[in-house]
Amino acid sequence: MERRTIFAGWKLPLLLVAPQLVLTIVFFYWPALVGGWESLTRTDAFGVHVVFVGLANFHDLFADPRYRAAILRTVEFCAAVTALSLGLGLILAVAADRELRGRDLYRVLMIWPYAVAPAVSAVLWILLLNPQIGFIGRFLTSHGVNWDYALNGNQAMLMVILASAWKQVSYNFIFVIAGLQSIPKAVIEAARMDGARGWFRFRTVVLPLLSPTLFFLVIVDLVYAAFDTFGTIWAMTQGGPAMATETLVVKVYNDGVVNLDLGSSSAQSVVLMVGVVALTALQFRFIGRRSGT
């Protein structure tokens, strides 16, 4: 039964929703509207004159080879983070699904990285990978690897991918564990009786039954990698060296906040917003279909 409370007037209900309403308006709608407007304007270097320029910012943006490079870089980054975090989450979840000692402790420990703030996790990875003071970094340099992510773009990319994926493994782990537990035990036993073993059984029975969960996670991971990794990347490389780790969100920040090109930055934000809306719509449609059957 639907729970519904009837209020006598409109003042109390308004007061009760006001905090959330104010937060949403001040921090979401207002900036979005301002951003939308600014994407159609151009401001001079001193911030004095504002000129309406229509869609010129967008035109310039897509004509800019560096923006197209950033799109490509973001796609690569997202794909790598999703593949790595989902792959690891899947492997760890399958391992944790078995009967083993200390299973609950193992599961709790697996969930921890999710609770670590992006900047903190970035510092943690720096402390591991820094070529002078990092445990792994020093090990690499002392074994003849020319390791310095501040100079080598590929190494920097590898590092931000690792750090970003690490944080998301927990999330994937939880969902895959839940997905595995929802597979009826008897179906697995039937497969055993049918003679299916190990990897073959996993591939032909477990994986297909897990695929709805995996699809959901791919979308969530892509959104995470595209939008929620700013903190991690910014704390580690600020998008460098030489834009090697500058994904679209980092570029928005660099162009707008650092280089004060507000028009172009706003246009980029609008493009990103369209991206989020598209992915969210895809996810909603998918979840709706799933709960519908």
Footprint of other proteins (CB under 8 A): 184, 186-187, 189-197, 200, 204-205, 208-209
- Categorise residue 47: left if φ over 0, alpha if ψ from -120 to 50, beta otherwise: left
Please identify, using beta-carbon distances, which residue of 59 and 192 lies nearer to other proteins.
192
CB of 185 to other proteins, least distance (A): 9
CA angle 130, 106, 201 (to 5 degrees): 105
Distance of closest approach, residue 205 Cβ to other proteins, in angstroms: 6
Phi/psi region, residue 195 (left: phi>0; alpha: psi -120 to 50; beta: rest), is: left
Cβ contact 219:279 at 8 Å? yes
Least distance from other proteins to the Cβ atom of residue 187, Å: 5
| Helix H or strand E encompassing 222 | helix 207-227
Residue 196 or 219: the one with the smaller Cβ distance to other proteins is: 196
Q: Side chain identity at 169, as an amino acid letter?
A: V
Closest CA to 57 of 276, 265, 272, 257: 265
Longest dimension (CA), the chain: 77
Which CB, 92 or 205, lies closer to other proteins?
Answer: 205
CB of 179 to other proteins, least distance (A): 14
Tokens of 149: 């992510």
In the bound state with other proteins, the residue whose beta carbon lies nearer, of 210 and 222, is: 210
Rounded to the nearest whole angstrom, what is the least distance from the CB of residue 216 to other proteins in the complex?
16
Nearer to other proteins (CB atom), residue 64 or residue 194: 194
Nearest residue (CB) to other proteins, 118 versus 179: 179
Residue 169: CB minimum distance to other proteins, A = 26
Provide the minimum distance between the beta carbon of 207 and other proteins in the complex, in angstroms, as a whole number. Answer: 10
Please calculate the CA angle 275-252-276 and round it to the nearest 5 degrees.
15
The two three-digit tokens of residue 72, written as one number: 């490509």
- Give 143 or 197: the residue with its C-beta nearer to other proteins: 197
